[in-house]
Amino acid sequence: MPQLRGLDEVRYQFDRPFRLDSSAFSRQFGVEPTPIDDVLDDVLAAAGRRPATVAAA
């Protein structure tokens, strides 16, 4: 399958944990990554699965 030809090049990503470093990109372009909590909130809201919030007591 042509789609799987490049899989061997990125297989290591599934074999062990790795971290991505965005510091050079952030310095060059003056942007910061979106915090994961913000991303998850947006995804859950878009999917209509935002968890119910607990009312303040």
Domain residue spans of the chain: 19-52
pLDDT tens by residue, 9-27: 888 888 888 788 999 999 9
**pLDDT in the model for residue 34:** 92
Residue 14 contacts by C-beta under 8 Å, 6 or more apart in sequence?
A: none
**pLDDT in the model for residue 11:** 85
pLDDT tens by residue, 26-50: 999 999 999 999 999 889 988 888 7
pLDDT band at 53 (very low <50, low <70, confident <90, very high): low
Cα–Cα distances (Å) from 39 to 9, 30, 34, in that order, read 28, 19, 7
CB distance 19 to 13 below 8 Å: no
**Which amino acid appears at position 6 of this protein?**
G
